[in-house]
Amino acid sequence: MNNIPKTMKALVAYSKDDYRLEPTYPTPECGPDDIIIKTEACGICAGDVKCKHGAAMFWGDETQPSWVKPPFIPGHEFFGRIVQMGENVRNYKIGERIIADQIVPCGECRFCKDGHYWMCQPHNIFGFQNTNNGGMAEYVRFPKNAVISRVPDSMAIEQALLIEPYGCSKHAVDRAQITNEDVVVISGAGTLGLGMITYARMKNPKALIVLDMIDSRLEKAREFGADYVWNPSKMDVLSEINKMTDNYGCDIYIEATGHPSSVTQGLSMIRKLGRFVEFSVFGAPTTVDWSIIGDRKELDVLGSHLSPYAYPFVIENMANGKLKTNGVITRMMPIEQWEKAFEYSDGKEGDLKVALTF
């Protein structure tokens, strides 16, 4: 049980300009309440890419402090098998395949105590602080408060890698409260958008419309359940929505691109008393005319963060085929090629989800 090596391969962020693959980084130590897993694979999130690019929301600027705590091991889209457990751990066995929610809740703050653990005030997420190192390493420590779910042995790596992003997708769609009378627009058909599409399809909306600037992603969106797929660079999507809805606009708009133009587009496209769900992490500030939200349309504007209580549903419905996953993982690369993998993760080569293996 304790025969794991003292060192491991790990990608370590020392600063925003200094990411290094360390061939002999110390393996995490297992405390009495901890579980150590051997990592099978770790997806690269847009947040990981933006963090590496030095985004202020991670590293701070003149208006906000640094949220990350280097040196840290990135990665929160990972899973693996138990190789070591502390003496106080119950109900798990060596060799079991598990995954944890990306946040490690403190259990003490008002949000944890009233069940909103994903908004935990300290807000320690795997892969951004050295107290909760992430999955871009051969071994990862799950502390006592980690929110753990079991992953079926039969589930392909390509599916298991999508549990975390699809959990986030589920939460965003749940925030939208879709009914079968709603005309729904999902802006963005990347990994998270595709997770939203395949789950929103289960809600049976009146119409499910997907917007993206890349035609190959729109083809995948159609395969995953979209009724209409539109490329805003090739057509007037606002005019099309108005034609479809007697000039009222869509009932629900879910923003999953992280681009400021998608926000202003959505505020124009949505009907009065509509529901706007913002999911994305933005690389740049967005400026909008807030009078649209209040004086003109009286909109419900909702945020969406992480994937609370979502993993068991996602795992079950990936396994039974209701949530489509085919083709979303476009590359799996050994951790030695992490620099190339991060480059592919920006989508410029047409990739959806890129993952590291060990």
Q: Are 60 and 66 in contact (CB under 8 A)?
A: yes
Give whole-number Cα distances, 341 to 23, 241, 331, 334, in Å: 18, 37, 8, 9
Mark whether 109 and 237 lie in a shared domain.
no
Task: Give me the CATH number covering residue 12.
Answer: 3.90.180.10
Instruction: Say whether both 297 and 349 belong to one domain.
Output: no
Residue 11 belongs to a domain: yes
Instruction: Indicate if 157 and 185 belong to the same structural domain.
Output: no
Q: 118-169, pLDDT tens digit by residue?
A: 999 999 999 999 999 999 999 999 999 999 999 999 999 999 999 999 999 9
Q: Does residue 186 form part of some domain? A: yes
The amino acid present at 357, given as its one-letter code, is T
Q: Phi, psi at residue 314, to the nearest 5°?
A: -60, -45
Distances in Å between the Cα of 81 and the Cα atoms of 13, 31, 95, 124, 152 are 24, 17, 5, 22, 11
Q: Distance between CA atoms of 159 and 166, rounded to whole angstroms?
A: 10
Domain that holds residue 66: 7-162+328-357
Residue 189 belongs to some domain of the structure: yes
Give me the pLDDT at residue 2, please.
Answer: 59
Same domain for 332 and 220, yes or no, is: no
Q: Which residues contact 320 (CB under 8 A, 6 or more apart)?
A: none
Residue 126: inside a domain? yes
Regarding whether 181 and 151 lie in a shared domain, the answer is: no
Q: Are residues 346 and 266 in the same domain?
A: no
Q: Check whether residue 158 and residue 176 sit in a common domain.
A: no
Domain boundary among 266, 287, 303: 303
Residues 6+ apart with CB under 8 A from 58: 16, 47, 50, 51, 66, 67, 68, 128
Q: What's the start-to-end Cα distance of the chain, in Å?
A: 20
- Judge whether 62 lies within some domain: yes
Does residue 315 sit within a domain?
no
Q: Are residues 119 and 67 in the same domain?
A: yes
127 in the same domain as 70: yes
314 within some domain: no
| Total domain count, the chain | 2
Confidence at residue 3, expressed as pLDDT on a 0 to 100 scale: 77
pLDDT confidence of residue 346: 87
CATH of the domain at 280: 3.40.50.720
Distance separating alpha carbons of residues 227 and 206, to the nearest angstrom? 9
DSSP string, 8-21: EEEEEEEETTEEEE
Question: Are residues 136 and 176 part of one domain?
Answer: no
**Domain final position from 258, 288, 303:** 303
208 and 76 housed in the same domain: no
Given a cut of 50, the residues of the chain with pLDDT beneath it are 1
Q: What is the DSSP string of 274-327?
A: EEEEE-PPPSS-----GGGTTTTT--EEEE--S-TT-HHHHHHHHHTTSS--TT
Identify the pLDDT of residue 140: 98
Same domain membership, residue 180 and residue 134: no
Distance CA 184, CA 226 (A): 10
Spatial distance between the Cα atoms of 223 and 327, rounded to a whole number of angstroms: 11
Task: Identify whether 322 is part of a domain.
Answer: no
